[in-house]
Structure 1
Amino acid sequence: MKIPRRKPLTARIGLFGVGHHVYWAQFPGLLDEMHHKLDILAAKLAALQPLHALDYERATTHMQLCNDDFCSVPEFMGVAARMGARVPEVILGMLEGDAEADAEIAEWCAIARTLHDLRRARIGHMGHVLEAMLDMHTDPTAVTAAFGAHVVQCEPDEILRHYSREDDPAALEAKKREILAFFDTPDPKSDPITTKLTDRDLHVAAKVAVALEAFIAERKLDGLAYYYEASEGTPMREMVTNLIVGNSLLTGAGFPMCGEFDLKTCLAMLIMDRLDIGGSFAEFHPIDFARGTVLVGHDGPHHLNIADRKPVLRSLLKYHGKPGAGAGVEFSIREGPITMLSIGVMAGVLGIECANVTAGR
């Protein structure tokens, strides 16, 4: 089962055609054919000709001009180079029936959708960095400068306000049904800190998820990076340590949720989601030197739409390395080629690093 998106993927893609106006009067019908191309095409800079080759035996100047899309490409690129501008990417191919050109156009449209959302995103930032995790500190101003996204400073009390209200039985039961529809709840295996999901943990996870969605709507957020511990035995501790289930549902629906106050990874998750390739928080774990592999994953929220099977929900007696207890999410991603994306800081400047690897068992 796939989690539907909270918002549709959208972009504003500008398109204009270029031609030599003298030709229109010289060759009747040529302008109409050029307009037909614009009705079909949506790309960055494309030279897509209607024919796979000229009909050399019957070729005319009109036919040549209709298929002369490549002619002006060196001119555009030369002007860009001479003016010190970035030389644009070019898509060469046929107007119709060209799978390779269609794939390139689709790729540029995905980039446009990603930039559309990234530059307008409101990313919530709540809590604090874990003590001594110096790699997690991120300057919100640098984020806006690099990506355009606005970082919204939030307080955990804003979620607690919704969590502390009297339960809405209908909303709570609906959220429990949603959770159980997406997760299996099997018996534990070898790890002694896990048990079968308890009714209590399901109730808390559902209640937190309902409060979280109310908070997101109230603050008009597009993502959230957070970490908060609170005092032991308080409602705040119960709430902030049970965000994982609601986080996973939200992440799968296109709303990236990132623990450990990791704003950079939240942005990376947003980018990958808008490219429609998932985006799940992960880190490196033990290496298998015999097989030449490394375990990659995390015990926090995941992008459920890239799972290879129904994810698992179990109760955890403790969260390793962090306070609290409650429901924990387990899942494995689909096998095959995957992309790993990281946003890092070098000399105060944010940058993107990618790696292409293969997921297997």
Structure 2
Amino acid sequence: MTILQPIKPIKKARIGLYTIGLAAYWNQFPGLKERLLEYGRFLETKMSEYGEVYFYGLVDTEGEGRRAGEWFNEKNVDLIFCHSGTYCTSSAVLPVHQICKAPVVVLNLQPAARINYEQTTTGEWLAHCGACPGPEISNAFARANISFRVINGLLGLDYTPAISLTREKTSDHMAAKRAWKSIEEWIRAASVPRTLRHSRFGFLGNTYNGMLDMYSDFTMIQAQTGLHVEIVEMCDLERMLRDVTEAEVKAKLAEVREMFTISEDSPADPIAKRPTDEQMQWSCRVAAAQEKLVREYDLDALTYYYHGAPGNEYEKLQGGFIVGHSLLTARGIPCAGEGDLKTAIAMKICDTLGTGGSYSEIVVVDYEDETILLGHDGPFHIAISEGKPLLRGMGLYHGKQGTGVSVEAKVKTGPITTLNVTQTGDGKLKMIISEGESTNGPIMKIGNTQTPVKFRKHPDEYMEQWFYEAPTHHCAMAIGHQAKLFQKAGELLGMVHVTL
């Protein structure tokens, strides 16, 4: 999700699709084969709104199943939909997925809500009996140790084919809408593993000293997600800084003034003041250097932290980080502070799915409103802001070195979902998902991002359950209720996931 021109586009999922039937039917029932292929092409067209779709056509024998499996391998698909058009033996379906190992979702989508009982012929009935092979195919998959999911419902045509003896226009039927929401989520979710496998995550500096929850093995990260971790140094960024021109600083300053409101002094906190002209100029110069770094190293995300000795040049450099990293996040390059690589992954998942993903942690609990404020003194995802974010000059960054400009903002009021990527004792990545509501409650005026969130349980009960799952203390906040979407992404990543 971006509000500026993305630096790197999200990779769309490559989707395999085929329709199944029984070869013996085609000579017995003229027009049935063509009818089922028409349904398949409808699926192809509609799915193409969300991903790159490769429609094989009809699989009706075990030999055709083998050819389809090889063809899907050639297309390098991320996910395969098996459209159950009519009865088909499982021996034709199983070879497709023994040869191509992409995850599979079976589509049991009946064309009509109700058949024409009085006039229906055997051939007409066969065009509506996609559920018939469902148990057989499920059994074959289970015995072959092939993971699968099934979507049941209506096909959702917006017309009735000439051959039909009943009404097939079901696009407005709830059973069609439910099915297509799930199909859309699976296709969008399939873009996550593809995007991560082709991603380069920059790791600048180090992890905040002593934050044990955030330490991770780069090899473990790549093994489980496919992303590459590129270690970059402060001297690399400093080298970029030397090449920044005055014209680039001016352009960044114009960008910042358009996207942010420049605050006055905080009425509450003496360390939060109106940013000085010097602070604004420096933040924009650093922001221009940060963009150069991302482009030179071809980065898709960035996690960073630098402490350093008081008064050194790198301390001044890192003091200008927050504005530039917020701008990068708004351009599809999520940036996570304190060296939290796992939360950068969570943010990238959210951003890939078009749901935002702002860097957050627990700020404070409001027991009167029964909300938990989530936010940070780090970068903010401007695309999901409630109004224009504020920029405040900070006399210090709590727990860190240096001074600079920070973002004060909250996520849009309405449904939100938090996504935490953590690591279990056996070294496996795990997703923790929670749905809640961002409220219009008050926030502090201290130059930090803060969003009051009301979860479905009392804060005490919610935190008890959340902490029991052993999260990292940061998470990504996305807009909308996205639990089912995130669950599908977790499943396709082979990642353990839990929804609170």
Provide TM-score, normalisation by structure 2.
0.69
1:354 paired with 2:437, answer no
> How far is 1:305 from its partner?
1.2
Query: Partner of 2:40: helix, strand, or coil?
Result: helix
> 1:24 is matched with which residue?
26
Query: Partner of 1:178: helix, strand, or coil?
Result: helix
> 1:39 is matched with which residue?
41
> 1:11-34: CA deviations, max 9, x gaps?
211112222122222222222222
Q: Which moved more, 1:3-12 or 1:348-357?
A: 3-12
Partner residue of 2:237 out of 150, 159, 171:
159
Partner residue of 2:120 out of 28, 34, 59:
59
Partners of 1:8 and 1:17 in 2: CA distance: 31
Query: Partner of 2:431: helix, strand, or coil?
Result: strand
> 2:252 is matched with which residue?
175
Partners of 2:124 and 2:156 in 1: CA distance: 14
> 1:55-104: CA deviations, max 9, x gaps?
11221222212222222222221111122332424343223312222211
> 1:324-359: CA deviations, max 9, x gaps?
111111111112221111111112222111122222
> How far is 1:323 from its partner?
0.9
Query: Partner of 2:19: helix, strand, or coil?
Result: coil
> 1:81 is matched with which residue?
142
AA aligned to 1:203 is Q
Partners of 1:147 and 1:89 in 2: CA distance: 25
Partners of 1:89 and 1:119 in 2: CA distance: 26
Query: Partner of 2:262: helix, strand, or coil?
Result: coil
AA aligned to 1:211 is A
Q: Which moved more, 1:96-105 or 1:135-144?
A: 96-105
Verify the 8 A CA contact 1:37 1:95 in the aligned structure 2. no
Partners of 1:121 and 1:17 in 2: CA distance: 33
Q: Where does 1:199-278 land on structure 2 (aligned, <5 Å)?
A: 199-278=277-356
Structure 1: stretches of 5+ with no match in the other structure: none
> 1:248-280: CA deviations, max 9, x gaps?
111122211011000110001111111211111
Query: Partner of 2:338: helix, strand, or coil?
Result: coil
1:292 paired with 2:370, answer yes
Partners of 1:154 and 1:250 in 2: CA distance: 16
Verify the 8 A CA contact 1:91 1:104 in the aligned structure 2. no
AA aligned to 1:8 is P
Verify the 8 A CA contact 1:3 1:304 in the aligned structure 2. no
Verify the 8 A CA contact 2:200 2:299 in the aligned structure 1. yes
> How far is 1:229 from its partner?
2.3
Structure 2: stretches of 5+ with no match in the other structure: 48-80, 82-104, 158-170, 442-500
> 2:4 is matched with which residue?
3
1:337 paired with 2:337, answer no
Cα distance, 1:63–1:8 mapped onto 2, change above 3 Å: farther
Partners of 2:277 and 2:374 in 1: CA distance: 30
Query: Partner of 1:175: helix, strand, or coil?
Result: helix
> 1:197 is matched with which residue?
275
Verify the 8 A CA contact 2:237 2:290 in the aligned structure 1. yes
> How far is 1:4 from its partner?
4.0
Verify the 8 A CA contact 2:396 2:402 in the aligned structure 1. yes
Verify the 8 A CA contact 1:286 1:295 in the aligned structure 2. yes
Verify the 8 A CA contact 2:112 2:154 in the aligned structure 1. no
Verify the 8 A CA contact 1:70 1:92 in the aligned structure 2. no
> 1:105-134: CA deviations, max 9, x gaps?
111111011121122221111211222222
1:94 paired with 2:155, answer yes
Percent identity (aligned): 35
Q: Which moved more, 1:233-242 or 1:10-19?
A: 233-242
Partners of 2:123 and 2:423 in 1: CA distance: 54
| Larger strand fraction of residues | 2
Query: Partner of 2:402: helix, strand, or coil?
Result: coil
Query: Partner of 1:57: helix, strand, or coil?
Result: coil
AA aligned to 2:16 is G
What is the total number of aligned residue pairs between the two structures? 360
> 1:121-149: CA deviations, max 9, x gaps?
21111211222222221111111122111
> 1:157-211: CA deviations, max 9, x gaps?
111101023x423322221111111101131232111222222122111111111
Verify the 8 A CA contact 2:106 2:148 in the aligned structure 1. no
Query: Partner of 1:16: helix, strand, or coil?
Result: strand
Q: Which moved more, 1:100-109 or 1:35-44?
A: 35-44
Partners of 2:365 and 2:37 in 1: CA distance: 57
Cα distance, 1:101–1:88 mapped onto 2, change above 3 Å: closer
